[in-house]
Structure 1
Amino acid sequence: MTISTPAIPAATVQRVQTLRETLREHNYAYYVLDDPRIPDSEYDRLMRELEQLEAQYPDLIRADSPTQRVGAEPLSEFIQVTHDVPMLSLGNVFNDEELTAFDQRTRERLAQTAAIDYIAEPKLDGLAVSLRYEAGELVRAATRGDGTVGEDITHNVRTISSVPLRLRGEHQPRLLEVRGEVIMPKAGFQQLNAHARQHQEKTFANPRNAAAGSLRQLDPRITATRPLDMYCYALGLVEGTDLIFTTHEQTLQQLAAWGLKINPEIKQVNGVQGCLDYYHTIGNKRNALAYDIDGVVYKVNRLAWQTDLGFVSRAPRWAIAHKFPAQEELSEILAVEFQVGRTGALTPVARLKPTLVAGVIVSNATLHNMDEVQRKDIRIGDTVIIRRA
């Protein structure tokens, strides 16, 4: 359906429509096919442009816009699951100023002048999953899907050793629904790809794709061979317990007591400066972590304040993701040259259009050998994704 509003420039109307169509296609590739076509940083830029245009021209906002929903439709091969409590995504900030503005808005909505306590945690680069326990037993695991309806992946999640099939400890609830992230650690990812290359099978582009592909296997015996892990980070629903929680930190401590894995890097911080200190500390140790992260998540610690702050259409007002500078960007191959090594071996090297990646200008990339060039069908003029390791 063509959008038409007389007071809005025609070029703007067309740009909004183009952005929506482009984002829908990338949503489909990323969430449904598990085959991302562009880096996350490029997707974020397109989404922010659309958000800004819709904010400038509110009459253009439509219920089916990518800005008004969480994800995409699940595949039909899996049984669909309706979440009792929606699994929402998070808004993003990309610099200190945007984080400061988020903190200020939060304190203003709460009528608080003093610094607020936040729970800070690494933003894991995996797949969001919901676990449902009844009478202490794992009865269902589901993907986030579109936030309201996901896919039943219980048979695959049961193969993950870090996910308890039965809760432990006291005060177990009659019903517990907990959210977390399924990841593939870096070492396991490298081993998986090495095995695939050895058997001339398709390799995965990154640990997130490997984790997503592993969870979407119809045969759990395949998933059981994949080195998956899961960290839990939030309660979705809890019924039938005498426990009363007043802070997010308390809920995490109780999840750990029930045998669920919690990320050891999670920390309570005070105010925006505490958030920034944590962000820089985690950023400095990012490459040493056993898993990929792409930022930090901050959540208001006091649960009553979370309730007071509520939600917008896509995300809670009481939480925000602080993204790291992109480690993946699009570039163009300008030329291919050959370097002679000490042993006389020739190594093809791509000369790239200079591109800023994670704060560094990248203009060269090794292509390893001619077999790799032929396998990937690399040609001058190709648009490529470059990733700073």
Structure 2
Amino acid sequence: MWKKAGIAVCLLLVSMVSQAVCPVWSLSRAQEEVSRLQQQLAQWNEAYWKQGASEVSDTVYDQLSARLANWQRCFSLEPATSMPALPAGTIKHPVAHTGVQKLSDKHALQRWMAGKNDLWAQPKVDGVAVTLVYRDGELAQAISRGDGLAGEDWTARIRAVPSIPKTVSGALTNSVLQGELFLRLENHIQKQAGGLNARAKVAGAMMRRNDPAILNELVFFVWAWPDGPPTLAQKLIELSKAGFSEEIHYSVPVSSLQEVEQLRSRWFTSPMPFVTDGLVVRYGSEPAGNSWLPGQSHWVVAWKYDPVEEVATVKDIRFAIGRTGKISAVALLEPVQLDDKRVQRVNLGSVRRWEEQDIAPGDHIAISLAGQGIPRIDGVVWRSLVRDKPVPPAPRFTPLTCFFASAECEEQFVARLVWLSSARALGIEGLGESGWRALHQAHRFEHLFSWLALTKEQLQSTPGISPARGLQLWHRFTLVRDRPFPRWLVALGTPLPQSAMRAAGDTSWQQMRERNEQAWQRFPAMGAEKARQAVAFIHAPDIQRLAAWLGAQGIKAFQ
């Protein structure tokens, strides 16, 4: 977790920063941007530690920390303040917390595993790091991680957690345990539910005195027993006897990358009793505790799950005109990878929505993938000092404009072409925006259906389209002539709801022309305004011209 990352996270940041590009800023602006971001990171850190509130996700915090480090490197600014100071506390850990080196991908893990034996995998439980100290069989001390060397005294609060053993025996009688205090959940599936802000709830429970009920939901997962039994297998048996029961169920010996991948996938998609953010692979044995230092743990590494969101820098704001004439704002981004998608743009919604979000070039936004892998904006996480926003175009397009091609109609006209080839309309497979633009540029369409008149030879000789694909398009254009009348209405962009079209049962354009507003209002979902829009659409001059042209082309419903 980022609040306990210490030097281990710095290694990750250096890796990310090494590939970053320096912004084109004056030194004075760089100093101010760095100062502002330092203050923001410090504010988030303080909110976490004092209120137990995660105002941003770990991904956002880590990536903005990486950007801060990069800006300091770019402008030779003081790196010592690149990370907000973690609250060290005053209670020294008997054994330092080392943190865990995070590997970038499975290839890095495979290199780390090469030649090693007695390796174990565990889920990377997402909670708050704590040291438990047992003396003469009694829980004597509990210490927050702090800076890895010293932390705060959490003994009283930890003693109030029912699931943590207050007395132990045998090998644990005088022992130091390091682990994760986590929120127990029922059948939590990480892939579906995500982090649920569980870590912040745990941190808050340790810092607040007015919410004792949540202590009943906390559990301790031991991930280190320095100077304990020589092997992890022996440690697991002793821990289980003492009442630390999760560890033996979620510690699995592994000998190959394939086994690790299978466990990682299973723990990501199966019900678990806790939130996880990845997987840990460790040696079965550890060095003596007196050699442990923050940031130095060669015997354990982590392979985190792919982030569900990324922080992207906005390069520019563009405006797109849809088929109905609505104008939307689009953010062009410095490319980021989400799952298997390289994301370079994200729709910000209407102009009004964009203005409300106050997004300008240079801002940093959190993005994730919505249903069907469509990028979406989750929020603005950092605003640039300079607010140089473009002016949106005047709203002069409507649902009755741009059925015929012109220079000013380019965007809406192409949007109409993309719509008519969609599955809901004429269903012309394999023809998206780039294909329509290529056809339009080569053959200069007069109107929305000009492509119906293209010959086989014209399509096969279109620049950017191979002869084989041109022949395929010709066959598909020929097939659409037999589409049912309602599909042609959808392709035209009629404002009629599907329920009204089904109830009307029209099979020809002439039937639709003969119906007035009152007649339309008899059908489902057709109020007075919808009826008015339908009649206005059907009798619009451009629509009448297109209907006549389709009839001349042999489309039966328009004859």
Give the structure-1-normalised TM-score: 0.63
Q: Counterpart of 1:253?
A: 237
Name the SS for the 1:276 alignment partner: helix
Q: Equivalent residues in 2 for 1:97-108 (5 A)?
A: 97-103=107-113
Deviations 1:101-138 (A, max 9, x none): 4345xxxxxxxxx3433221111111111111111011
Match of 1:275 among 246, 260, 272: 260
* 1:51/1:120 CA distance change after superposition, 3 Å: farther
Q: Equivalent residues in 2 for 1:275-294 (5 A)?
A: 275-285=260-270, 288-294=271-277
How far is the alpha carbon of 1:160 from its aligned partner?
2.0
Deviations 1:158-181 (A, max 9, x none): 22222111114x3443x2111121
Q: Counterpart of 2:155?
A: 154
* 1:92/1:328 CA distance change after superposition, 3 Å: same
* Count of aligned pairs: 310
* 1:379/1:296 CA distance change after superposition, 3 Å: farther
| 2:48 is the counterpart of 1:30 | yes
| 2:132 is the counterpart of 1:122 | no
Q: Counterpart of 2:225?
A: 235
Q: Counterpart of 1:381?
A: 357
Of all paired residues, the percent bearing the same amino acid is 22
Gaps of 5+ in 1: 1-7, 105-113, 190-203, 239-244, 335-350, 365-377
Higher relative contact order (CA 8 A, sep 6+): 1
Contact 1:298 1:319 in 2 (8 A): yes
1:327 partner amino acid: V
Give me the whole-angstrom Cα distance separating, in 2, the residues matched to 1:100 and 1:53: 32
2:56 partner amino acid: I
Q: Equivalent residues in 2 for 1:179-258 (5 A)?
A: 179-187=178-186, 206-219=197-210, 222-223=212-213, 226-236=216-226, 245-258=229-242
2:180 partner amino acid: E
Name the SS for the 2:120 alignment partner: strand
- Structure with a larger share of its residues in strand: 1
Give me the whole-angstrom Cα distance separating, in 2, the residues matched to 1:318 and 1:208: 25
Larger radius of gyration: 2
Contact 2:132 2:178 in 1 (8 A): yes
Q: Counterpart of 1:85?
A: 95
Match of 1:295 among 260, 266, 278: 278
Contact 1:93 1:320 in 2 (8 A): yes
Contact 2:180 2:222 in 1 (8 A): yes
Name the SS for the 1:122 alignment partner: strand
Gaps of 5+ in 2: 1-21, 189-194, 319-328, 348-353, 359-364, 372-559
- Structure with a larger share of its residues in helix: 2
Give me the whole-angstrom Cα distance separating, in 1, the residues matched to 2:177 and 2:26: 42
Deviations 1:321-368 (A, max 9, x none): 111012345699x9xxxxxxxxxxxxxxxx99799766689989xxxx
* 1:101/1:61 CA distance change after superposition, 3 Å: farther
Q: Counterpart of 1:109?
A: none
User: Pairwise CA RMSD of aligned residues?
Assistant: 4.7
Q: Counterpart of 1:323?
A: 304
1:300 partner amino acid: Y
Give me the whole-angstrom Cα distance separating, in 1, the residues matched to 2:305 and 2:339: 8
* 1:140/1:234 CA distance change after superposition, 3 Å: same
